[in-house]
Amino acid sequence: MLEPHTVLTASELYSRICVRDPYFALKDVTVIGQGEVAAGVPVQQDPDMEAGCIGIAEAGRHLAILGSCAAAVVAPREGQHFYLATGARGQWLNPEPQARASELLRGSAQAEHTGERTAKAHTLLSSPDGTPLMRLDVDYDVLPAATFTRLFAKARVDMRREPRLDDGVRRAPEEWAELRQNPYGKPLALRDWHPDGECLSAALGPVTADMCKGHFALHPAMPVAVVAGGMTRVATALLRRLEGAPSARCVTKGVRLVAHSLAYAGQTVRFSAHRRTREGADHDFRCWAEVGERVVAELDITFTRVD
């Protein structure tokens, strides 16, 4: 067992979990207790239409990774494991509009293994002064690296091969600079927007390996949190459209995510949102992401319009 106050190095974490820089962006992951860790949480992306100090999808990304770190330090077996987030339930605790955070936020996670190949984590995001901002519970499927590699290879039989950085292609300096950029610091380049009454959809792709940097090393798949980001972006755009308010902003009230499968490099993902109800300033949405006819993930989210 790791001693409390142990700060985990990148090499220690990467030998246990399945993500790398730049998808992994936590600072000073520190053991607090049995299955409990804390870390600094950066804000890399503008919350855009969300009036919070961090967007809900980015907050979920960092907290889910932190939860996997907590689970990894009490894993019953040695070696690297892939922590696949299969579900999450969250609540934003501060309903007031906030400016984008300019300092590291604070994250904590308590995790346990609930079965031979499952784990769960209870996480909390707080402001730099310790004010609670968001609670998120995350469920994981836990697979040994060898098992995931076999499953990934099988799933990609029909996928086109993505170029490697060392594929022999001569690139100009600006092309190498683009390859080194962090894809998680900017919004997804959605296209083919299609409104239909109380629904709105948009597409992304084909997904490239560059969009998946650091997520499942050597096995490029779109992170669940990025898929969630596509769904929330379509939902907030739909809110603005239905309200006839191009500059409206909102804060998240509650969220529930279910991830069914992965979207792999080479595939095109379509994100859709449907506003189910509106009660005062609260707007309740049902969202889903699909690859062809396969549903990748589903999201129930309630936004409160604040301006």
User: Domains in the chain and their CATH numbers?
Assistant: 10-144+185-305 (3.10.129.10)
- Based on the number of CB atoms within 10 Å of its own CB, is 167 exposed (0-12), middle (13-18) or buried (19 or more)? exposed
Q: What is the pLDDT of residue 164?
A: 35
71-113 pLDDT per residue, tens: 999 999 988 999 999 999 999 998 899 999 999 999 999 999 9
Is the confidence at residue 163, as pLDDT, over 70?
no
The reported pTM is: 0.90
Is the confidence at residue 1, as pLDDT, over 90?
no
- Average pLDDT in the 121-139 region? 97
243-253 pLDDT per residue, tens: 999 999 999 99
CA–CA separation, 152 vs 216, rounded Å? 10
232, 55 in Cβ contact below 8 A?
A: yes
Q: Share the mean pLDDT of the chain.
A: 90
* Number of Cβ atoms within 10 Å of the Cβ of 284: 17
299, 255 in Cβ contact below 8 A?
A: yes
Q: What is the pLDDT of residue 151?
A: 78
223, 45 in Cβ contact below 8 A?
A: no
pLDDT band at 180 (very low <50, low <70, confident <90, very high): low
Q: What is the pLDDT of residue 62?
A: 98
| C-alpha distance from residue 119 to each of 71, 74, 125, 242 (Å) | 7, 10, 20, 39
Q: What is the pLDDT of residue 253?
A: 95
Percent of the chain with pLDDT over 90: 77
Closest CA to 68 of 80, 56, 55: 80
132-159 pLDDT per residue, tens: 999 999 999 999 988 888 877 766 544 4
CA–CA separation, 149 vs 164, rounded Å? 18
φ/ψ bin of 86: left (φ > 0), alpha (ψ from -120 to 50), beta (otherwise) = alpha
Closest CA to 289 of 240, 223, 239: 223
More confident residue, 109 or 209: 109
- Average pLDDT in the 283-293 region? 97
